Structure 1
């Protein structure tokens, strides 16, 4: 791709980065002048038969990808009679519940005739602006629009009256087509990268399930190979306060709580953990809050955590990946205690059966899964770079 930087024309109504064969200022109109806007609706949920059909009924949470073919729920043709059937190629955005994670600024283009829920708004072009161009424009501006203009206290929403008044700058049809094709290629590359990561994660999960499916002849309680530790931080000697996240494992407590220090000023009763030690939150282990310390040499955790380490004949990485298995999760459910908040005690953990091969095989399994995990991280980092590249180009190539 060859582009030019419009440093000499900063006062003109043109983007910073542009294909060199195009020149002249872009036009400008309001969204309402260029598009017919339609919000959706919901068939009566009292009639379950309405949700047994073949017509797409799109909800706001599905608008994450560039193109949307089939929706999670399909409604009957009878139910669709009371809703507007949108043609293929309609741009749809989320307008309700924008405070929810990942909802604000989302939009997709339909690839099949579809209806939409009341949490969505659709745009059908009246004239020269194509939906593909609107998609890219909204990818640049949608998040800011949601932050600045969404209304509501408990739930942040956008309305027709707000959206129709926004001004949109646009080039001629040929320049739109080239921009649309370029952004589409970027999105296809990002979608491919997402698929690579998804497949690698599936492979990792499959390997874990194969390696950790219990063999009744060679299982023993995990308590036979781990020991509880409870060394305290006397004299507040260690200041590195850690928490266990269900997604990131051990992290600094200030990172988990957005730079707020929730630890007590006196941490002498906090537990010391060293590299390859484990810790878990008894009340959150059922959502994955258990981890091995690998990113720090040493730290301290709240007294509420249960801490332990493996014995010398067990590879800590082998135990670590066991905690990601479905078998471990199922065994947890059998041992949770409590009525209001269910917890897993250290004794409950110790009773969970574990298949334990030789030390050499443990290391080999651990290394194999670790290498796959590193590959997933590398591909995830690349995905982040691709998304940043797209955001940069949207900022530079659209007004």
Structure 2
């Protein structure tokens, strides 16, 4: 008995659509052309041009997105035109996994052209694909795998119009279904873009607050003051609010310190454990201590510990004295002005060897305030950080959803 052929359909589908999808070669519907090459003296003025970076970083482009300009003759404009509905692929890259990134041109002027590092894909007759559907179908996992398989690599990865013409695209025959898919993913992309902007704004807000809530060496008081209570500030030294913890340990939980994650258990990292089996010289860390990488403090590699454990002898551990809020100082020390001070005070001939131990750190001047104000400033900055983390988690959930839809809505 003959085996019934499998239906050519995606796993997830809009209601009302049941027909098999088409499976055709690009060369049946499209022509392929490389763009223009001109000397650098022709760029910076003239007509709009679709550049390699435009296509590499975006899946769709509009005229307002094109920042490049090039001076051309009318014949060059005609021979290298870029029109609404044209699809572009990057034709070269350093690595095979970045070859052939696509972008659809959603709007263009009559004199828009495209770069020689791109391949233009233009319908020969009627285009079988909806514009928004075309925006995504060539960035699916299946098509990307075929792109990498059929491209060549010597010193650089390379694809061509000939390669593209033999590649397979899978699409529903009904434009309405294509449009439904394209519209859904476009709305999701718009939401992702808004979420990115929100994250950028929160990042900028946090940086601004860190600069304005702390005094620098040119200010007697911070630019932004916490209301209610004593707001007095005074000169001090780091050695007057912290002492160095020199307790040694060997069997406690191994901790690490990074710029992005602060202090965390080493077994939660993906790094290989290169620490010595003999840890008798490792330093103890207690909750509310600040541990920092002595060679990377100037880059912000520090954090308040929520754990008890040990760190490498290459790290320095700061023990807060009475009536001091360690989190307040963590935010202070990660302020860009303080990082510059740490950099200037680090010792070593090159940035690879710069080092700032406690015997130099303790003599660095700071401006500080009472515990009540420290607590309020720390609480405000923690709230901003928590909000940023929540919004970051939402952003990653949106990206996970997009990845799922790109896998399930297409074949």
**Shift, 1:369, TM fit:** 0.8
Moved more, 181-190 or 297-306: 297-306
**Shift, 1:221, TM fit:** 2.9
Residue 316, structure 1, aligned to residue 326, structure 2: yes
Which residue of the partner structure matches residue 223 of structure 1?
239
Which residue of the partner structure matches residue 176 of structure 1?
178
Q: Distance between the aligned counterparts of 1:193 and 1:320, measured in 2?
A: 27
Q: Distance between the aligned counterparts of 2:363 and 2:287, measured in 1?
A: 24
Which residue of the partner structure matches residue 243 of structure 1?
256
Residue 196, structure 1, aligned to residue 198, structure 2: yes
CA 1:89/1:247 → structure 2, altered by over 3 Å: closer, same or farther? farther
Q: Distance between the aligned counterparts of 1:199 and 1:52, measured in 2?
A: 33
Q: Equivalent of 1:76, from 45, 54, 70?
A: 70
**Number of residue pairs matched by the alignment:** 380
Residue 292, structure 1, aligned to residue 304, structure 2: yes
**Shift, 1:319, TM fit:** 0.7
**Shift, 1:187, TM fit:** 0.9
Which residue of the partner structure matches residue 4 of structure 1?
none
CA 1:208/1:43 → structure 2, altered by over 3 Å: closer, same or farther? farther
Q: Distance between the aligned counterparts of 1:328 and 1:314, measured in 2?
A: 18
SS at match of 2:361: helix
Which residue of the partner structure matches residue 124 of structure 1?
122
Q: Equivalent of 1:377, from 389, 394, 409?
A: 389
Alignment of 1:1-399 (within 5 A): 11-38=6-33, 43-45=38-40, 47=41, 50-51=43-44, 55-56=48-49, 58-60=51-53, 63-69=56-62, 74-78=68-72, 84-94=80-90, 95-98=92-95, 107-110=102-105, 113=108, 121-126=119-124, 127-141=127-141, 144=145, 152=153, 157-160=157-160, 162-171=163-172, 172-214=174-216, 215-216=219-220, 218-233=234-249, 236-238=250-252, 240-258=253-271, 260-294=272-306, 297-340=307-350, 341-346=352-357, 347-399=359-411
**Shift, 1:131, TM fit:** 4.5
Q: TM-score, normalised by structure 2?
A: 0.79
Q: Distance between the aligned counterparts of 1:99 and 1:213, measured in 2?
A: 50
Instruction: Name structure 2 gaps, 5 residues minimum.
Output: 222-233
Q: Distance between the aligned counterparts of 1:72 and 1:338, measured in 2?
A: 45
**Shift, 1:276, TM fit:** 2.1
Q: Is the 8 A contact 1:56 1:71 kept in 2?
A: no
Q: Distance between the aligned counterparts of 2:265 and 2:114, measured in 1?
A: 42
Which residue of the partner structure matches residue 231 of structure 2?
none
Q: Distance between the aligned counterparts of 2:317 and 2:406, measured in 1?
A: 47
**Shift, 1:350, TM fit:** 3.3
CA 1:180/1:335 → structure 2, altered by over 3 Å: closer, same or farther? same
Instruction: Name structure 1 gaps, 5 residues minimum.
Output: 1-8
SS at match of 1:250: strand
**Shift, 1:188, TM fit:** 0.9
Greater Rg by CA? 2
SS at match of 2:135: helix
SS at match of 2:43: helix
Q: Distance between the aligned counterparts of 1:249 and 1:10, measured in 2?
A: 56
Q: Distance between the aligned counterparts of 1:104 and 1:271, measured in 2?
A: 48
CA-atom RMSD in angstroms? 3.4
CA 1:229/1:124 → structure 2, altered by over 3 Å: closer, same or farther? farther
CA 1:254/1:225 → structure 2, altered by over 3 Å: closer, same or farther? same
CA 1:358/1:93 → structure 2, altered by over 3 Å: closer, same or farther? farther
Q: Distance between the aligned counterparts of 1:248 and 1:79, measured in 2?
A: 54
